[in-house]
Amino acid sequence: MGIVNDVRDHGLAGLQHNFITAQVEDLVKWSRSRSSWPASFGLACCAIEMMATGAAHYDISRFGMEVFRASPRQADIMIVAGRVSQKMAPVLRQVYDQMMEPKWVISMGVCASSGGMFNNYAIVQGVDQVVPVDVYAPGCPPTPETLIHAIETLHQLIEDGEIVRRRQVSGAGAEVHVTEIPAAAQPVPVLLGVR
């Protein structure tokens, strides 16, 4: 405690964030943001892009998201990828309720976010009617780069503690909208001897 009081007395704000004098709450938020496990909830074509994000080319394991969990009791981030039908909405809510606290939701794709082109009675017009959404990833389907951007945004919100405070006050998600990132331009293969 003497080190902490000495730091406060001398006004050395930078020292408050080392491993000796850090607040336990800051360490918990930091570790939560870097060790989240997603629950796979792929419903349509966006799920293919979600699977590509976990593959070797994009490798979301570098963000601490090693494994897509099949059990909601082992996951803390739900990525809803694709359109949600009225019949699937209660199942989605049940999986969300079985997840451990604190838990977060990413709405991936325009169909999950707003119903997309399916403006009819069978499709839920936005997954936020079923579960509180923290980050919206736009696109039809969103690129893996967009999903990674949404994941990084969510990680920053978790580390800041913004989502936990908002949940306690309103019960709603953060509802952050990220911008779509286009796929990286792939080089065109050159065939030798062909004109």
- For 41-70, the pLDDT digits (tens) are 888 888 888 888 888 788 787 777 777 777
Interval 4-44: pLDDT, tens: 444 444 444 444 556 666 677 777 777 777 778 888 788 88
Beta bridge partners of 81: 42, 108
Instruction: Quickly state the pLDDT bin for 174 (edges 50, 70, 90).
Output: low
Over range 87-91, report the average pLDDT.
91
**pLDDT at residue 89 tops 70:** yes
Q: Enter the CATH code of domain 23-177.
A: 3.40.50.12280
Burial 70-98 (b: 16+ CB within 10 A, else e): eebeebbbbbbbbbbeeebbeebeebbee
Residue with tokens 């938020």: 29
Strands 38-42 and 77-81: parallel
CB 116 within 8 A of CB 160: no
Assign 108 to helix, strand or coil.
strand
Identify the burial level of 36 via C-beta atoms within 10 angstroms of its C-beta, where 0-12 means exposed, 13-18 middle and 19 or more buried.
Answer: buried
pTM of the model: 0.74
Q: Which amino acid is at 79?
A: I
60 versus 162: the higher-pLDDT residue is 60
Residues 6+ apart with CB under 8 A from 165: none
The continuous run of DSSP H or E covering 111 comes out as helix 110-114
